């Protein structure tokens, strides 16, 4: 049974080592903010941070997360940058249907943690793997710029 550090808490989950982290988080740990989208790491809905880096939890086995810090959308607001991103998202009403937004916020937060004043190109590169069926890309870009300016 792997012990995982999720949102600052260490917990032992009774799951196989090869289970995708997404299902361990959602179905076992009860953290349902991380979404299943495509299952092949192409859409970004399942993005979480692993030791500060955005990863696709749908293709990451639990064994890869042992001994590392996992942060999900449920705790990203505890990070000062994550809180700014969430505030900017609310400020300009980025969300339409909302399904992809937890992954979008996780990717945007990782971008601003590594590049506090991103260019349009930086934003495009960091967010390229996150798909929004509602097409809120313009609002996402604007929210990232607002969060960067705070």
pLDDT in tens, 6-19: 999 999 999 999 99
CA-based nearest residue to 141, from 129, 19, 122: 122
Between 1 and 90, name the one with better pLDDT: 90
CA dihedral 85, 91, 95, 98 (to 10 degrees): 60
Average pLDDT, the chain: 97
pLDDT in tens, 45-103: 999 999 999 999 999 999 999 999 999 999 999 999 999 999 999 999 999 999 999 99
Prediction pTM value = 0.95
pLDDT in tens, 108-137: 999 999 999 999 999 999 999 999 999 999
The span from the CA of 56 to the CA of 71, in Å, is 12
| Crossing angle of the two packed helices 80-91 and 101-114, in degrees rounded to 10 | 130
pLDDT(1) > 90: no
pLDDT band of residue 2 (cuts 50, 70, 90) is: confident
């Amino acid at each position: 049974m792997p012990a995982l550090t999720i949102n600052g808490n260490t917990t032992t989950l009774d799951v196989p080592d090869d289970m995708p982290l997404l299902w361990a988080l959602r179905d076992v740990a009860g953290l349902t903010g991380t979404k299943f989208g495509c299952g092949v790491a192409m859409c970004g809905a399942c993005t979480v941070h692993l030791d500060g880096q955005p990863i696709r939890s749908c293709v990451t086995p639990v064994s890869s997360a042992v001994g590392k810090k996992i942060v999900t959308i449920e705790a990203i607001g505890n990070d000062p940058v994550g809180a700014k991103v969430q505030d900017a998202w609310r400020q300009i009403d980025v969300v339409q249907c909302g399904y992809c937004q937890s992954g979008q916020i996780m990717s945007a937060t990782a971008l601003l943690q590594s590049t506090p004043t991103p260019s349009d190109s930086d934003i495009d590169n960091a967010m390229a793997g996150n798909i929004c069926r509602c097409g809120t890309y313009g609002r996402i870009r604007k929210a990232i710029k607002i969060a960067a300016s705070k």
